[in-house]
Amino acid sequence: MAEQLGIIKLRGTIGGISFYKTSDGYLAREKGGVSAKRIATDAAFQRTRENNAEFATAGKAGKLIRTAIQVLLQNAKDKRCVGRLTRNLLGVVKTDSSNARGARKVQDGNMQLLKGFEFNQNGKLGATLFTPFECTLDRTAGTLSLQLASYQSAVRISAPQGTTHYRLNFAGASLDFEQSNFNLGMEQTSILPHSTTEQAASTLTATVEADSVLPVIGVLGVEFFQEVNAEMYPLKNGAYNTLAVVLVDQV
């Protein structure tokens, strides 16, 4: 792989060299490799087909998760979020011990590997929110609860420069990876001042499908604002907003 450094930016193929654009800039590489037909039929590529199938499974699962929490994710993700989530879920797929290689599934693997996943590397929940909290799921009632201890936001929330206010966002989603369906519930705090004012202990509740046997994830994030002339504006277009997986529950 080569990087294009000239002022002429190319796309396409010239003389067996493919030119293309990525998030890292304009790159070039030699065209070649094994044909798709051979990979799909040749016995020598059985492992490749199995790997490709499981990568596709992880990619599909990642898309479902991103779609389920899109209302929060749209303001709290980095440019590599899709790839990082797919790699994480591929690791989950590989822990499935009940299905044959190439047919392993996310829901049959150890989804606890997803807990702690940060959707925005530029603003991590683990480096932002320092007040104790506990997340619990009542499957019978279909309620996901987040209990927050009392805190002073100026002490317990590490905010980027320019922050005047913040909001906590909490959501839960039950995920049907087979049918590509989900059920989402969420609750947000009001927009609160980032100050030394004591915030009382509180509970945020997200409602998901009752009596479900589907995997459930809970996500928590912090959204930052700047007040200008009595109006609230997302700080730096949400570049430092956080969102992370704080609960994973499988039956």
Per-domain residue ranges of the chain: 1-32, 115-249
CA dist 179 → 166, 175, 176, 213, 214 (Å): 36, 9, 6, 14, 11
Residue 101 one-letter amino acid: R
Q: Provide the pairing of β-strand 216-228 with 242-249.
A: antiparallel
pTM: 0.84
Q: Following DSSP, what letter does each residue of 140-200 receive, concatenated?
A: TTTEEEEEE--EEHHHHB-PPTT--EEEEEEEEEEEETTTTEEEEEEEEPPPEE-SSPEEP
Summary mean pLDDT of the chain? 90
- Per CATH, the architecture of 115-249 is what? Sandwich (2.60)
Q: Which residues contact 208 (CB under 8 A, 6 or more apart)?
A: 142, 143, 144, 172, 173, 174, 183, 184, 185, 216
pLDDT of residue 48: 78
Least confident of 44-48, 138-142, 198-202: 44-48
For residue 76, pLDDT beyond 90:
yes
> CA–CA separation, 67 vs 50, rounded Å?
26
Q: How confident is the model at residue 217 (pLDDT cuts 50, 70, 90)?
A: very high
Dump pLDDT digits (tens) for 161-206: 999 999 999 999 999 999 999 999 999 999 999 999 999 999 999 9
For residue 35, pLDDT beyond 70:
no
Joined tokens for residue 20? 């293309």
Q: Which of 90, 85, 127, 121 is nearest to 106 (CA)?
A: 90
Contact 125, 244 (CB under 8 A): yes
Dihedral-angle region of residue 248 (phi above 0 means left; psi in -120 to 50 means alpha; beta otherwise): beta
Contact 186, 147 (CB under 8 A): no
Q: Which of 79, 92, 86 is nearest to 120 (CA)?
A: 79
Name the burial class of residue 113, with classes exposed (0-12), middle (13-18) and buried (19+) by CB atoms within 10 angstroms of its CB.
middle
pLDDT of residue 33: 63
Joined tokens for residue 18? 């493919």
Q: How confident is the model at residue 146 (pLDDT cuts 50, 70, 90)?
A: very high
pLDDT of residue 49: 84
